Amino acid sequence: MTPSTHEHAHGFGLDHLPYGVFSVDGGPRRIGVRRGDEVLDLATATGRPELAATSLNPLMERGPSTWRQLREQVLDLAPDLPGIPLSNVVMHLPFEVADYVDFYASEHHATNLGRMFRPDSEPLLPNWKHLPVGYHGRAGTVVPSGTPVVRPSGLRPVSTGSTTEGPQPPSFGPTRRLDIEAELGFVVGAPSAIGTRVPAAGLADHVFGVVGLNDWSARDVQAYEYVPLGPFLGKSFATSISCWVTPLAALDAAWCDLPGQDPEPAAYLEPGRTRGLDIDVEVELNGEVVSRPTYSSTYWSPGQMLAHMTVNGASVRTGDLFASGTISGPEHGQEGSFIELWKGERFLEDGDEVVLRYSAPSTSGGRLSLGEVTGRIEAAR
Ligand code: CA
């Protein structure tokens, strides 16, 4: 365990320029981009009507040609614009979240968790390598980085929390197994029409950008409730995202080949189109880095997740958020959740603070930092 050497301004150069929503002194919310440790007020600087808004949704709805034009304009303006110090602004949720879907795309995470939740059977269920498993989460409780997380209460199994059945009834109370899930979130800008599919290759036509995401999880509540319909109250109390949305264009140098898929998935999942993002994650607990997951080791690609979400004709809307699922690498020290890292022996205490940091290769040859995702645990109410 080593202290993080992250410096806040590092990774927010002119090759990045992520979008966010800020306010100053209780004033109205405004759209800005981050340059180092400053915010640039974009509505004022560009005069664009889609930026005279309190969320990124009107901009995101316009689609990729507008996003490209705006980025060129911002790249021209950003070096010379006066900035507002980050210490003088309050950051807000950057977009109105429409639907929230959470996937389960890391083979290492699914295997680790399968062993713990179902110790007597195969760790991966038979469908896992045929489709990206996912569930619909609760959009209304997606909160911006920095929002405190109140320890949730629910029905917990009486035993260790790893079984769903037993002779004794569950007990109600504050979760004893509060955990994190370090994930990456994909933000849909341009909508699709109901009844049509979005191909995996259509990712950049619809996805505006990427956020860091922490899917806080109450493992005991989750273990008791998840059969047969999946996660519910063990997940829905809070999901934290970064206040900064990194546009896909800033990640042009971060695309990489994922490890590969065997057996070959169905044609609609475009076998071979397994391009992922080379994004490294740092999980920091109370100021110490405890884990370093790698998004480049996931099994299903973001394009495949989007293709899967829409293969039945379900549309995507502006503001939809779909998440990767917990990012866990193959090695010890790369786990994206504490239940994997500490084998179920240690979880979050009241007062603990978690910071997720993300970095990726940038188009200028250096590295950029995605917005961090922080949250401190408050006692159950
Ligand atoms: Ca998750």
Are 63 and 188 in contact, with CB atoms under 8 Å apart?
no
pLDDT in tens, 250-309: 999 999 999 999 999 999 999 887 899 999 999 999 999 999 999 999 999 999 999 999
In this predicted structure, the answer to whether residue 1 has a pLDDT above a threshold of 70 is no
* Nearest-angstrom CA–CA distance, 370 and 6: 12
Phi then psi for 221, rounded to 5 degrees? -60, -45
CA 114 to ligand 1 centroid distance, Å: 14
- Name the amino acid, one letter, at 232: F
Which residues are registered as beta bridge partners of 39?
34, 84
**What's residue 158's pLDDT?**
85
pTM, 2 dp: 0.95
All structural domains of the chain, each given as residue ranges with its CATH number in brackets, are: 19-92 (2.30.30.230), 100-155+170-378 (3.90.850.10)
CA 199 from centre of chain: 21
pLDDT in tens, 205-243: 999 999 999 999 999 999 999 999 999 999 999 999 999
Average pLDDT of the chain? 94
Percent of the chain with pLDDT over 90: 92
**What's residue 168's pLDDT?**
85
Please state the length of the chain: 381
CA 326 to ligand 1 centroid distance, Å: 5
CA 68 to ligand 1 centroid distance, Å: 31
In this predicted structure, the answer to whether residue 77 has a pLDDT above a threshold of 90 is yes
CA 112 to ligand 1 centroid distance, Å: 14
In this predicted structure, the answer to whether residue 2 has a pLDDT above a threshold of 50 is no
* Nearest-angstrom CA–CA distance, 326 and 106: 7
pLDDT in tens, 143-197: 999 999 999 999 999 864 445 555 689 999 999 999 999 999 999 999 999 999 9
**What's residue 165's pLDDT?**
55
* Nearest-angstrom CA–CA distance, 250 and 190: 18
Please give, one letter per residue, the 3-state secondary structure of 158-193.
CCCCCCCCCCCCCEEEECCCEECCEEEEEEECCCCC
**What's residue 5's pLDDT?**
36
Catalytic residues: 109
CA 215 to ligand 1 centroid distance, Å: 5
Are 50 and 73 in contact, with CB atoms under 8 Å apart?
no
Which residues are registered as beta bridge partners of 185?
211, 323
Are 172 and 191 in contact, with CB atoms under 8 Å apart?
no
pLDDT in tens, 307-324: 999 999 999 999 999 999
In this predicted structure, the answer to whether residue 338 has a pLDDT above a threshold of 80 is yes
In this predicted structure, the answer to whether residue 108 has a pLDDT above a threshold of 80 is yes
**What's residue 272's pLDDT?**
81
* Nearest-angstrom CA–CA distance, 261 and 275: 12
CA 86 to ligand 1 centroid distance, Å: 30
- Other C-beta atoms lying within 10 Å of the C-beta of residue 269: 24
**What's residue 164's pLDDT?**
53
- As residues whose CB is below 5 A from the ion ligand 1, the structure lists 102, 181, 215
Per-residue confidence band for 117, with pLDDT thresholds at 50, 70 and 90: confident
CA 286 to ligand 1 centroid distance, Å: 22
User: In which region does residue 351 sit, left (phi positive, over 0), alpha (psi from -120 to 50) or beta (all else)?
Assistant: left
Are 195 and 312 in contact, with CB atoms under 8 Å apart?
no
**What's residue 274's pLDDT?**
87
Angle in degrees, CA 313, 222, 213, rounded to 5: 60
In this predicted structure, the answer to whether residue 7 has a pLDDT above a threshold of 50 is no
**What's residue 6's pLDDT?**
38
